[in-house]
Amino acid sequence: MNIDQLIEKISNKINLNIEETQFVFRLIMSGDLSEEKIASILIKLADKGEASDEITGGASVLREKSLKVNLNTEALDMCGTGGDGKHTLNISTTASLVLASLGVKVAKHGNKGLTSKCGSADVLEKLGIDILKQPEEVKKDIENNNFGFMFAPIYHQAMKNVANVRKQLKQRTIFNLLGPLCNPASVNYQCVGIFSKDLLTIYAETLKKLGTKKAWVFHSHDGLDEISIFGKTDVVEISPSGTKKILIDPRNFVKHNYKFEDIVGGDAEFNALKIMQLFNGENNAFLEIVSLNSAAALLVVGKETLLEVAYNKVKQHILSGAALKTLEALKK
């Protein structure tokens, strides 16, 4: 294979197959390409629109090169792809802590902010959680406290070859899509918010190809890579029984008068403060959207069957202060 011919193919809006994509990504991840060439590939892929085989091929290369966490239990990862440009509070990270306090094993995989002001690693670090743990430590955290965090630069060291390019581009790339697919703990369950409705089915197909047991992939009508409390959210579910589409309208049971700006975040210090206020019982828009997204994850892992029931359960659980206990345990 020839890298220049494959770049030409992408330029002509022709999708690569899995093997071609693996060839390209092995060159990218080995550091054998210039930053200019890597940037060109990423921009052209984004302009064309990433196909399922391209995402699968890229993810498989990142998986083969990553450090692994070998769990003895099933686990969930909950994250967004980023790139929605909405700069919300850290909703999926907060929901992950809530889920851990509800007894769900969560293997959270994340990074510092690239397309946002504050990534999961930024806010967890500000909350006092050690984000630099090695595989055995993460495994122990999940066993003891139901939550472990895997900092992407530690577990995907080959990513250092694209870190500078991603930062300079300041736009979403295929790597936003690949992050949630490359969990070092090989999780069975996933909740993935995605920045574009057009990618929902493609992304769900990719998760299935990679062996995920059950997942929800979602994008809200107001443009969030989360399940929104302000309007409808499209979901594609994959499970052993097949693939199905779900439309969530939270206005049927989430009653509030909040505005979108009520869930907009800031830097790590601001977002960490909002999480602490939430876990100390503050009743606000953040509570509503964290409860709703946590509820969805309870359906994915099979702990609940009705979204409304799960939402009410989570909301009362957060207000009880139970999530705060899990957070405090993780700081030790």
CATH of the domain at 41: 1.20.970.10
Q: What is the residue range of 204's domain?
A: 76-155+168-331
**Both 9 and 145 in a single domain?**
no
Residue 178 lies in a domain: yes
**Both 187 and 321 in a single domain?**
yes
Domain boundary among the residues 65, 98, 114 is at 65
Residue tagged 């059950």 (tokens): 214
**Both 187 and 39 in a single domain?**
no
Residue 71 lies in a domain: no
Residue 32 lies in a domain: yes
Higher pLDDT, 157 or 313: 313
Domain boundary among the residues 15, 34, 65 is at 65
pLDDT in tens, 109-149: 998 886 677 999 999 999 999 999 999 999 999 999 999 99
**Both 52 and 125 in a single domain?**
no
Burial of 32 (0-12, 13-18, 19+ CB in 10 A): exposed
- The residue type found at 38 is I
Contact 118, 267 (CB under 8 A): yes
pLDDT in tens, 269-313: 999 999 999 999 999 999 999 999 999 999 999 999 999 999 999
DSSP state string for 147-180 = EEEEEHHHH-GGGHHHHHHHHHH-S--HHHHHGG
Domain boundary among the residues 13, 33, 65 is at 65
Look up residue 16 and give its DSSP letter: P
Task: Compute the average pLDDT of residues 97-107.
Answer: 98
**Both 21 and 102 in a single domain?**
no
Instruction: Supply φ then ψ for residue 263, to 5 degrees.
Output: -115, 10
CATH of the domain at 133: 3.40.1030.10
**Both 127 and 88 in a single domain?**
yes
Burial of 302 (0-12, 13-18, 19+ CB in 10 A): exposed
Residue 16 lies in a domain: yes
**Both 179 and 250 in a single domain?**
yes
**Both 26 and 101 in a single domain?**
no
**Both 243 and 144 in a single domain?**
yes
pLDDT in tens, 193-224: 998 899 999 999 999 999 999 999 999 999 99
Assigned token pair, 308: 């409304």
Residue 83 lies in a domain: yes
- The residue type found at 7 is I
**Both 17 and 81 in a single domain?**
no
**Both 120 and 10 in a single domain?**
no
Residue 160 lies in a domain: no
pLDDT band at 171 (very low <50, low <70, confident <90, very high): confident
Query: Among residues 261, 323, 308, which one has the least CA distance to residue 127?
Result: 323
The count of domains in the chain is 2
Residue 91 lies in a domain: yes
Assigned token pair, 127: 């909350």
- Beta-strand ranges (E) seen in 39-98 are 76-80
**Both 20 and 150 in a single domain?**
no
pLDDT at site 81: 84
Instruction: Say how far residue 163 (Cα) sits from the centre of its chain.
Output: 18
Residue 162 lies in a domain: no
pLDDT in tens, 29-59: 998 899 999 999 999 999 999 999 999 999 9
